[in-house]
Chain A
């Protein structure tokens, strides 16, 4: 059989594992990553220019990562850092799509275009934080928890000195740990779900957890760390409003019921200089959607046990298939890379079992940290829902209530919600939910907020210039020289 060419998009835990597995199955591999360095969100690295003597101090599982990123130096691997996949184009039926790449720094100009035609494509593009709207969430000083994490881990910038971290999910804990390590004062970590909800989610089917001891141990480490640093961790509490003149100055904290409705009279205010929020994660779906991959009911990329998507020749791995943490992303990447390279099933049965356990873990995590259905009660008429276009809650409800607007797209056109620079990445799901709720029908026509044929911005001049048909090694390997 001819050597298979595998393209991997994303060099986070999943993409790196996919590259490693595809190489060991004998394929030639091209790894495309828009950042300068591999690692993704979990192994976000310090800039090389910081010349850090102890970069591993901010990392978990550093040695495994060091080994995995060596895959990029393999003679059959082409590493394309600072290259962004901006479109996928269906070429021939039964084949994976053509991969359109822009070579150069994000949002640059005159970046050369390249086109790859791989035998198989692995998508490992990860997630971004999901943040529900609340009054004042658009104030400067309100960050996603991921932003605070990325700035602290990746640049050593601390977002503030009096910080509240709020939302739901175990991710709030590593963020608290990073901020504390970086010298910020973390006043409180607020998990909106109550212990009963979290325990019910975790404690059902405990055998599923055994396979995930790696992640469980890491979580336990955070909890112990919390105790040591004495960061108050409270459950059943939420930040329901941010206030301030031109920037966040105080937050309103309330106790909430299991459905996240506010318990009247429980509100209190706290002076802060930064607020970090995460209510979960949204997958970066533009590329899977462009490839024609089916999604699950929860809105992640649907894969089979071999990490195969519904589109031919396309595999998906990591958190775009569900939120289960970095170890599960690695297992999925291993499976995806191996099968994309045409490897025989028997050799990856262990990774397949770990990936299946990861999927079970993802289901538990989702059950343990659900988004309470009553959150829209936090909103006021003038609360901004779409940050880009500043569409208010009242405007959305009005538009959704109009009988002519059965189609969620009509609501968007009428209110401009989701039509600004972020193209509904931040508000898409929220607008769909508010629209459905406003119409009091649970199964409103499904919006597809992720259909963005242009996955990443490209400038007109770049589009007009001809693209190079790139073989996998057309660009000199830009090897990672750092140790």
Chain B
């Protein structure tokens, strides 16, 4: 029912997964080395993490850095496109909302 990673044992490309961990709004979230932050969040079953001006949820839309729907704060730096940023072990991710900015 949710986005997920192709199970490593069934993946025809033959991956060698090495774990990493980030926190999202304080909560630990597991990932694998090489994933984008959007990839980590999606593979964790999350479809949305940002809120638009009306408070409506948003996640990945374009996947390649054009739509800016996926913006997050990474290690204190705002407005990072999650789909274009590699996850690093220990990244502190905070979700953003535009409804409270105004």
Contact = CB atoms under 8 A, between A and B. Distances in A.
Interface of A: 34, 36, 41, 46-55, 57-58, 105-109, 128-129, 138, 140-144, 146-152, 155-161, 181-183, 246-247, 273-274, 284, 387-390, 420-422, 425-426, 457
21 contacts: A41-B64, A58-B13, A106-B65, A106-B85, A129-B62, A144-B63, A147-B63, A147-B64, A151-B60, A155-B35, A157-B4, A157-B5, A247-B48, A387-B52, A387-B69, A390-B52, A390-B53, A425-B66, A425-B67, A426-B61, A426-B62
Given A140-B59, A183-B6, A421 B12 contact: no
The binding surface of chain A is classed by DSSP as loop
Nearest to B33: A49
B14 interface: yes
Interface of B: 1-7, 10-18, 32-36, 38-39, 42-43, 47-48, 52-54, 56-69, 71, 77, 79-81, 83-86
A138 B52 contact: yes
Contacts of B18: 49
A183 B57 CA distance: 27
Contacts of B57: 140, 246-247
Nearest to B35: A155
B68 A388 contact: yes
Contact of A422 (B15, B39, B60, B67): B67
A144 B62 contact: yes
B47 A389 contact: no
A157 B3 contact: yes
A143 B60 contact: yes
A15 to B, nearest CB: 15
Nearest to A82: B86
Contact of A183 (B10, B35, B52, B59): B10
Contacts of A247: 47-48, 57
B67 A387 contact: yes
A144 B61 contact: yes
A156 B12 CA distance: 10
A142 B63 CA distance: 11
Contacts of A107: 77, 79-81, 84-85
Contacts of A457: 79
Contacts of B68: 388, 420-422
B53 A142 contact: no
A244 to B, nearest CB: 10
Contacts of B42: 151, 157, 159
B52 to A, nearest CB: 6
A142 B61 contact: yes
Nearest to A46: B13
A57 B43 CA distance: 22
A143 B61 contact: yes
B6 A158 contact: yes
B79 A50 contact: no
Nearest to B50: A140
B64 A274 contact: no
A52 B14 contact: yes
Task: Across the A-B interface, give the 9 residue pairs with the lowest CB-CB distance, nearest first.
Answer: A147-B63, A47-B34, A49-B34, A53-B14, A421-B68, A140-B48, A140-B47, A51-B16, A106-B84
Given A50-B32, A421-B79, 5 more contacts: A57-B12, A105-B85, A106-B84, A160-B1, A160-B3
A472 B32 CA distance: 35
A426 B5 CA distance: 27
Contacts of A274: 3
A151 B39 contact: yes
A150 B85 CA distance: 14
A389 B79 CA distance: 16
Contacts of B15: 46, 50-52, 156
A287 B79 CA distance: 22
Given A107-B85, A146-B62, A157-B42, A50 B3 contact: no
A27 B86 CA distance: 33
Given A49-B34, A128-B64, A144-B61, A158 B13 contact: no
Contact of B61 (A147, A160, A183, A390): A147
Given A105-B86, A157-B42, A50 B63 contact: no
A247 B36 CA distance: 22
B5 to A, nearest CB: 6
Nearest to B76: A109
Contact of A147 (B6, B12, B32, B62): B62
A50 B83 CA distance: 17
A320 to B, nearest CB: 13
B35 A52 contact: no
A53 B17 CA distance: 12
Contact of B63 (A54, A150, A182, A246): A150
